[in-house]
Amino acid sequence: MTAPLHEARPTGRGRALPDTQQGMRRRNLARVMHTVSAEGPLSRAAVASRIGLTRAAVSTLVDELIRSGLLEELGPERPGRVGRPGSALAVSGHGPAGIGAEVGVDHLAVCAIDLRGEVRARAVRYGTNRGRSPRPVIEELTELVGRIVTEAEHEGLWPAGLAVAVPGLVARDARTVVRAPNLDWHDTDLGALLPAGLPLTVDNEANFGALAELRLGEGTPRDFLHVSAEIGIGAAVVVDGQLLRGTRGFAGELGHVPVRPDGPACRCGGHGCLEQYAGEEAVLRAAGLEPGEDRVGLLAGHASDGDTAVRRALRDAGEALGIALTGAVNLLDPEVVVLGGALAGLAPWLLPSLEAELARRTAGPACPVAISRLGPEGPLLGAAHSVVRAVLDDPAAVAGRG
């Protein structure tokens, strides 16, 4: 069991760069890209001092990244900075683009972002996908992807990869939807249905939502639990800036944590799972409302109008979330819990009972709960960002592909 710790260094996408001169060069290219991405525009000298390499070494790396279209020079730095003037470097707005896609229960969405994280093209199509077989849904999605890629190309970008967010469990092959109960999809290989050519990553929507939070949230720490909901309830565990995936890729199934072990039967086989109390359908049922297409809007509307049945249903859901999160916080000790997806829109009515439950079950200070500003946009943006992050993590892998 004593495997060497340092056999390989995984990158964001799970590729390993070996510990050789060539691997070191590739990692240093990544360090330059990440530094300019996080802090740019920066001069070569500033990059060198930040990553602890010589100015000459950095210049060689920068030249390679400019040739590959990943960095660009903005011309001389503005006066007023300390040190001799140098040409400021920025991440290119005309290089690789990340294509993000989302298969929602009630919509399809696709977007393209550039390496700077700007959304450059976006399309959404509403309509239920529940009970539709995967092929026509993915055909529709492919058509949207084609349209967005064409738009991005008109902007001088080229697609570096496609990442698809789904409301379900995804195998560690990052292609196969093992179980998406609210679509009624099982063991569906999306890789076989999507067009070949673009590097593909399929992942759970909560995981991509967490990635968006990490990249776009303000002050999001590197250890957090991201809880989201569409019809089911999912969570993503982020540890030191990385997703914890689990052995099969199924980590984060907060929706099936037992809240009241003798509670109602759940489709997962369990009893009294969180989803039976705080899933959208359970809340609608408790509130006496019919499930329609815009369920969050419906609940939020009634709650702000003072509908006591809806407010009570949301309060009870918040309490159940608080109980399940107490367990999760005890196990994981995150710095913060972030409520995203549909939960963000319902936070005003969920949060009081949720926080009270967390506080009364915790001896010391309770784990803080934050609301995602990205809300339901998180998974789509996170998917696109995952492609950009893979480019930043190993720029050498895409150099010259454009």
Nearer of residues 80 and 261 to a second copy, judged by Cβ: 261
Nearer of residues 18 and 301 to a second copy, judged by Cβ: 18
User: Is residue 237 exposed (0-12), middle (13-18) or buried (19+ Cβ within 10 Å)?
Assistant: buried
User: To the nearest whole angstrom, how small is the minimum distance from the Cβ of residue 270 to a second copy?
Assistant: 4
User: To the nearest whole angstrom, how small is the minimum distance from the Cβ of residue 174 to a second copy?
Assistant: 15
What would you report as the CA-atom Rg of the chain, rounded to the nearest whole angstrom? 23
- Is residue 329 within 8 A of residue 225, CB to CB? The reply is yes
d(CA 50, CA 28): 12
Nearer of residues 102 and 275 to a second copy, judged by Cβ: 275
User: To the nearest whole angstrom, how small is the minimum distance from the Cβ of residue 52 to a second copy?
Assistant: 7
Nearer of residues 9 and 130 to a second copy, judged by Cβ: 9
Residue 189 parent element (H or E): strand 185-189
- Is residue 369 within 8 A of residue 358, CB to CB? The reply is yes
User: To the nearest whole angstrom, how small is the minimum distance from the Cβ of residue 354 to a second copy?
Assistant: 13
Nearer of residues 52 and 79 to a second copy, judged by Cβ: 52
d(CA 207, CA 382): 8
Nearer of residues 46 and 108 to a second copy, judged by Cβ: 46
User: To the nearest whole angstrom, how small is the minimum distance from the Cβ of residue 141 to a second copy?
Assistant: 27
- Is residue 91 within 8 A of residue 38, CB to CB? The reply is no
What is the DSSP secondary-structure string of 301-360? HHHHTT-HHHHHHHHHHHHHHHHHHHHHHHHH--SEEEE-HHHHHHHHHHHHHHHHHHHH
Nearer of residues 37 and 109 to a second copy, judged by Cβ: 37
Nearer of residues 174 and 328 to a second copy, judged by Cβ: 328
User: To the nearest whole angstrom, how small is the minimum distance from the Cβ of residue 373 to a second copy?
Assistant: 13
**Residue 394 contacts by C-beta under 8 Å, 6 or more apart in sequence?**
11, 13, 15, 17, 26, 29, 30
d(CA 190, CA 196): 11
Quick one: which of 302, 257, 265, 301 has its CA closest to 282? 265
Q: Is the dihedral of CA 19, 215, 368, 353 positive or negative?
A: negative
Looking up tokens 């720490």, which residue turns up? 221
User: To the nearest whole angstrom, how small is the minimum distance from the Cβ of residue 192 to a second copy?
Assistant: 22
User: To the nearest whole angstrom, how small is the minimum distance from the Cβ of residue 127 to a second copy?
Assistant: 29
User: To the nearest whole angstrom, how small is the minimum distance from the Cβ of residue 39 to a second copy?
Assistant: 9
CA distances 23 to 10, 49, 127, 393, 395, Å, are 12, 21, 47, 12, 12
Q: Angle at which helices 21-39 and 378-393 pack, to 10 degrees?
A: 140
Nearer of residues 35 and 138 to a second copy, judged by Cβ: 35
> What SS3 class is residue 104?
coil
